[in-house]
Chain A
Amino acid sequence: MATKLVTEKLSAWFGKKQVLKDVSIAFEEKQVTALVGPSGCGKSTFIRCLNRMHELNPGARVEGKVLLDGLDIYGMDPMDVRRKIGMVFQKPNPFPNMSISDNVVAGIRLSGEKRKADLDEIVERTLRSVGLYDEVKDDLRRSGASLSGGQQQRLCIARALAMEPEVILMDEPTSALDPASTSRIEELIRKLKSEITVIIITHNVGQAARVSDKTAFLYLGELIEYNETKEFFESPKSPITERYITGRFG
């Protein structure tokens, strides 16, 4: 299996505080990798280093390398990086001033690329791929904010997919959703990996077990364990991992 995205000794700081310490990890192409760990372990910071969002915080600093197909993203234009590596956030955040269809193509329209594209076709295709099309096709003009939380999150995934990214980062995408919406999104994540590399942060070890092929455990900014999800849960190598997945802390 090919590796898609690799971090080499990735460290990150907020001001003087180091929140990520020498994390080296290789993400497989077209696989789902889950990142688990207790709150404040650096998962979000880590994922935000992968699309150069961390550096937007005042006083934030990154060291080490992040290689996308072997090329360091810290040597590329951050805008290009973010178009190749999409992101879905914890709280659904569709643009409330835009309709459903405008939300889907917001990235294409506003990214300044003069890409000739059939926007209607992209709207339909991406909404279908997130399973939202049949629910909203009668009124694509209504505001994206009028949808339910779960629908909004699928709209946000569609918006990210419309940019045709190679990797998609998800930062606890279901933590604000009800169980039914959560299972729809989990199903979608499993489906997505036929096309795309998925890296998902989750607070819920059950979710990691359900959706991912590999799981990484971060603790206090360090990578403690990284393995096939099955192995990871059945025979964790580190005692900290074992304590975490059995729910004894975090």
Chain B
Amino acid sequence: MRLLSRRAKEKLIIAVLIALSGAAVIPLFWIIGSIVWNGVSVMSIEFLTSLPAPFGSSGGGIGNAIIGTLIINLFASGLGIPLGILTGIYLAEYAYDSKMGSAVRTIVESLSGVPSIVIGLFAFTLIVLTFRHYTGVAATLALGIMMIPLVAKATEESMRVVSNDLREAGMALGIPKYNITTRIVLSMAKGGVISGSLLAFARISGETAPLLFTALFSFYWPTGIDQPIATLQVLIYNYAISGFADWVAKAWGASLLLVLLVMTINVAVRTFGRKKCGGA
């Protein structure tokens, strides 16, 4: 009797757990479903490759915003990934248990907790107010700063898991520390560093707040990183609240592209990362 009731309890708990985890993934499918549902209809070569049509007329596309997001992300990566990797190397190999190391680690962790709009505000104050116009440079700075803690943490963690035996083997051969760090430890950790960098890239692809008052927006092709630049994120924001049916539809299309970009990177990193673990 008692055994049966225990078994029944067990089943009940499993049923509740399944139901609740099902409930947790519903929002994801709902969101993705509605984005695909609403976004697919506007997809066309024209949508992907043209400039927005003049206000009031239909047609046109979001080509400038696609390019803009890629440009800003690439420049931000050029800033954030190297700084993140260097910080990670410093934390893992040179200051792992020093006071300076834990200070840097705390600062980097705090940086990852700073709201993105605050980082945007910083870039706005530093660059937009100084040069007195909106510019992609400020957006690049804001997003690049946001990448640093993500890349640094991934680098530090993947370098720390490299066995200390290999560092000792290198030291015993008289190999200088910088070569042990770069040619042995970093080389072993590169899978984790690449994954971390890609995830950071995906992460900033969704950031909108820091772009609103830095890169702002533009209806034209980007002409320079020092000019206002259209991005998918800001386009979605502007178009979705515009109230024009044509723009709202385009906002859905842009959302679909953005979700595809982020999900592709995430899936790629997971498959690539798993293969890497299986091999080693």
Let me know if B168 and A93 touch, CB within 8 A.
yes
Let me know if A107 and B173 touch, CB within 8 A.
yes
Let me know if A56 and B171 touch, CB within 8 A.
yes
In the complex, which of the residues B163, B172, B184, B187 has the most CB atoms of chain A within 10 Å of its own CB atom? Answer: B172
Closest residue of chain B to A58, judged by CB? B97
Q: How distant is the Cα of A70 from the Cα of B231 in the complex, in angstroms?
A: 70
CB-defined interface of B174-196 with A at 8 Å, one 1/0 digit per residue?
Answer: 11100110011001100000000
Q: How distant is the Cα of A135 from the Cα of B173 in the complex, in angstroms?
A: 24
Binding site for B on A (CB under 8 A): 51, 53, 56, 58, 79-83, 86-87, 89, 91, 93-97, 106-107, 110-112, 156, 159-160, 163
Q: How distant is the Cα of A107 from the Cα of B174 in the complex, in angstroms?
A: 7
Let me know if B174 and A163 touch, CB within 8 A.
yes
Binding site for A on B (CB under 8 A): 97, 163, 165-166, 168-176, 179-180, 183-184, 187-188, 280
Let me know if B188 and A96 touch, CB within 8 A.
yes
Set of chain A residues within 8 Å of B166, measured between Cβ atoms: 93, 95-96
Set of chain B residues within 8 Å of A51, measured between Cβ atoms: 172
Set of chain B residues within 8 Å of A79, measured between Cβ atoms: 174-176
Set of chain B residues within 8 Å of A107, measured between Cβ atoms: 173-175
Give, as a whole number of angstroms, the nearest-CB distance from A214 to chain B: 23
Set of chain A residues within 8 Å of B165, measured between Cβ atoms: 89, 91, 93
Set of chain B residues within 8 Å of A82, measured between Cβ atoms: 171-174
Excluding A87-B172, A91-B165, 9 further A-B contacts by CB distance (< 8 Å) are A51-B172, A58-B97, A82-B173, A86-B172, A95-B170, A97-B187, A111-B174, A159-B169, A163-B173
Closest residue of chain B to A163, judged by CB? B173
Set of chain B residues within 8 Å of A53, measured between Cβ atoms: 168, 171-172
Give, as a whole number of angstroms, the nearest-CB distance from B131 to chain A: 44
Set of chain A residues within 8 Å of B187, measured between Cβ atoms: 97
Q: How distant is the Cα of A137 from the Cα of B174 in the complex, in angstroms?
A: 27
Set of chain A residues within 8 Å of B176, measured between Cβ atoms: 79, 110-112
Set of chain B residues within 8 Å of A56, measured between Cβ atoms: 171
Q: How distant is the Cα of A8 from the Cα of B179 in the complex, in angstroms?
A: 33
Let me know if A160 and B280 touch, CB within 8 A.
no
Closest residue of chain A to B175, judged by CB? A110
